[in-house]
Structure 1
């Protein structure tokens, strides 16, 4: 600053004064950009109508953001240990908070199918997913086929805003046929349909099932009563995309149809040219890896829609991070990891552990100890997931089998991705060594390194990092 004042003192000419003014202006702009104009905490996809300036031409005419998520399948956070994974309640909550900060009305709904594996672990997941959705202030929730299959879990969470348009649930389930919500003078009608392929499952659960066509006709007629202002109707359909589109032909005034049937990636299709005739068909992505963001104008019309990946650009929500920590702790304390040993090995042998293998294969053992496989269990332990049944199968030897890994205390020799994780159960080979034992192929690796859980996995690229046979 002293040098600046010297310039000012010497500024007996107009040039000195100009230099001083320019320097002050530059300092102000740099400080403003660093302190006031903070960058967005996430990267939005190309084509998004959300930009850094919340007063942009694309956004200023919007009245409501409709946010669609769901189809979690029990994934409270992404499954896998590599970078580039998508999903998780922490990122979802952060994005919702970000949207609400843009001074627009946010309407958050989910398409259901929240937990798919069942059992005691599924019940714990259901509880924590329900808690997460309540904290996120969900306003509509579809009752999908996975909820239908696990009815006993969800009877404890009837406070969630469910709807089931073509199901007659037991009297103990007070779930309406549709939801009617007002946002900024716009009436939003929500309907949830199950495909006819789930009729048998519904009957097995003691429910009356109506065809999607009949159920929607009755509910749509009842829902439209006494509505005079702007209206947006939305159908969430659990079933094949073609069945949904065939059904949509009979309801041209319903502009938004969301398909739920385990799609890997989201997809958008718009049919019809004129404004009053357009129908938007959105495919939801499984494991809640993306959100659909749909902009509505003041008349309730769809202005645009884009899918937002829940990726690493989105910071974790503190409150969901705490909720997930509680979930991990509950799983650890449940003792479920000790109750999973129920299968016999297909070969009829038992797991012997890598230490026994290395006695005859010391060179291979030394090489294996240099690979990430040799400390795969410690990766889980750092995350507190070393007692999570879903994680142990790919981080230990033989988890789920009677002679396989049970716990760090009981079966320490079966920790990590050991010899038998890839080469198979070893007792028969120890008893009668043979050259043909334990051949590894690409499919061996893909049991754990799936595209979704290990998106960067390349067999030919990764193989040299773990190969350890004699050359």
Structure 2
């Protein structure tokens, strides 16, 4: 019996190396294993850097440390500083990166596209928000800054083919434009509930504003969504075989806070933008007529104790906070740091309406002219909706808590 065991052990000892020599290891072809193991040496690394749903946010609102994230200057700075670590990569925007088609919105559009050009985006989707701008306006900018646009609009191509790290990559906005044998990436603003049923694509990047802390896996597809307002840069690291099959992946969000080094070239773009935006303010030489807002000094004639309490709040120093960050001539900022900006008889310049700087009584209670003429006419009641006209950017806004901070009764 001992002899048989010894012979069996010897046989197995000789057989195992032969098995290992001729054994074929199958390639793992699943989208989303979360691993980085190379299989048969065929795995190739690719980083997909992506944004989507930025909605015209060139720079973050600096009013609160909790909102001071994002912006094209920091995004460009991070990519430039870490280019060696990130390579090989492709840089994509899944659309809805523009804001509204207004005079300021058009200045933003040019600054955004010029920034994209500096960052060398590989593909940029034109979707819902971009469609609000006329083609006659955008076409010149696209030609000037050489932006690789894809869109379902007839004036543009729907797909772009590119190559990175010996990988053939198909980037499209059309779910029907899948190409076999390539890494296929779909850019869309369809909601998750709808897009998760689309089959065949390796990667789908959304610009709906839906936050996905981690990628969603559905039907063999990895689904990610651009972080709202571009506060973070999405980085999806893939291990891919030569045929475009994903062997594994990992994902992370790169916060774009104040610690990120700025890109000097993109900062120049934003400085130019700020200077052009300042010209949108009304002509200082125009005489004031039909004054509806009277200013805090008029309120103090009858409500001095309330005004003294107001002076202790941040509302009383709201305009100086804009001056500190160079935004005192930006209409989008001014409207929440002055009284009645954009309304008849409201603030329109420091020179002509200095009495309407800061968030004064009438910013919350409404114009006081009619009340002064007839005290029986009540001022506007301050409800939560009044606060949310500006505090929509306050991520931790809580009406009872915030109201307590400015309470003066």
Partner of 1:177: 158
In the TM superposition, residue 180 of structure 1 has moved relative to its aligned partner by 0.7
Deviations 1:259-311 (A, max 9, x none): 22233565521125xxxxx2112222332222221112251425122333333
Alignment of 1:314 onto 2:297: no
Partner of 1:32: none
Q: Find the residue that maps to 1:129 and give its secondary structure.
A: helix
Alignment of 1:424 onto 2:406: no
Question: Is the 2:46–2:237 Cα contact (8 Å) retained in structure 1?
Answer: yes
Question: Is the 1:99–1:106 Cα contact (8 Å) retained in structure 2?
Answer: no
Partner of 1:466: 406
Q: Find the residue that maps to 2:117 and give its secondary structure.
A: helix
Partner of 2:154: 168
Alignment of 1:137 onto 2:120: yes
User: Separation in 2 of the partners of 1:313 and 1:433?
Assistant: 52
Check 1:294–1:280 CA distance in 2 against 1; reply closer, same or farther (3 A cut).
Answer: same
User: Separation in 2 of the partners of 1:419 and 1:176?
Assistant: 53
Partner of 2:275: 329
Alignment of 1:455 onto 2:399: no
Q: Find the residue that maps to 2:85 and give its secondary structure.
A: coil
Please list every run of at least 4 consecutive aligned residues from structure 1 whose deviation after the TM superposition is greater than 6 angstroms. Answer: none
Structural mapping, 1:350-361, within 5 Å: 350-361=292-303
User: Separation in 2 of the partners of 1:320 and 1:398?
Assistant: 33
User: Separation in 1 of the partners of 2:86 and 2:51?
Assistant: 21
Deviations 1:36-57 (A, max 9, x none): xxxxxxxxxxxxx9xxxxxx98
Q: Find the residue that maps to 1:465 and give its secondary structure.
A: helix
Q: Find the residue that maps to 1:113 and give its secondary structure.
A: coil
User: Separation in 1 of the partners of 2:86 and 2:202?
Assistant: 25
Alignment of 1:263 onto 2:210: yes
Partner of 1:128: 111
Moved more, 152-161 or 135-144: 152-161
In the TM superposition, residue 313 of structure 1 has moved relative to its aligned partner by 4.2
In the alignment, which of 162, 165, 173 is matched to residue 192 of structure 1?
173
Question: Is the 1:349–1:426 Cα contact (8 Å) retained in structure 2?
Answer: no
Partner of 2:337: 395
User: Separation in 2 of the partners of 1:438 and 1:377?
Assistant: 23
Question: Is the 1:266–1:290 Cα contact (8 Å) retained in structure 2?
Answer: no
Q: Find the residue that maps to 2:209 and give its secondary structure.
A: strand
Question: Is the 2:95–2:187 Cα contact (8 Å) retained in structure 1?
Answer: no
User: Separation in 1 of the partners of 2:261 and 2:387?
Assistant: 31
Question: Is the 1:80–1:454 Cα contact (8 Å) retained in structure 2?
Answer: no
May I ask how many residue pairs the two structures share in their alignment? 357
Partner of 1:84: 66
Question: Is the 2:214–2:224 Cα contact (8 Å) retained in structure 1?
Answer: yes
Check 1:352–1:455 CA distance in 2 against 1; reply closer, same or farther (3 A cut).
Answer: same
Structural mapping, 1:368-387, within 5 Å: 368-387=310-329
In the TM superposition, residue 441 of structure 1 has moved relative to its aligned partner by 2.8
Question: Is the 2:52–2:225 Cα contact (8 Å) retained in structure 1?
Answer: no
In the TM superposition, residue 358 of structure 1 has moved relative to its aligned partner by 0.8
Q: Find the residue that maps to 1:102 and give its secondary structure.
A: helix
Alignment of 1:439 onto 2:381: yes
Deviations 1:328-363 (A, max 9, x none): 12211x2x1228xxxxxxxx9921111111111111
| TM-align CA RMSD | 2.6
Question: Is the 2:58–2:71 Cα contact (8 Å) retained in structure 1?
Answer: yes
Q: Find the residue that maps to 1:270 and give its secondary structure.
A: strand
Question: Is the 1:163–1:178 Cα contact (8 Å) retained in structure 2?
Answer: yes
Q: Find the residue that maps to 1:101 and give its secondary structure.
A: helix
User: Separation in 2 of the partners of 1:153 and 1:307?
Assistant: 34
Larger relative contact order (Cα-Cα within 8 Å, sequence gap ≥ 6): 2
In the alignment, which of 209, 222, 235 is matched to residue 293 of structure 1?
235
Partner of 1:34: none
Question: Is the 2:214–2:251 Cα contact (8 Å) retained in structure 1?
Answer: no
Stretches of structure 2 lacking an aligned partner (at least 5 in a row): 1-33, 284-289
Question: Is the 1:266–1:285 Cα contact (8 Å) retained in structure 2?
Answer: no
Question: Is the 1:266–1:284 Cα contact (8 Å) retained in structure 2?
Answer: no
Question: Is the 1:139–1:161 Cα contact (8 Å) retained in structure 2?
Answer: yes
Partner of 1:343: none
User: Separation in 1 of the partners of 2:332 and 2:56?
Assistant: 11
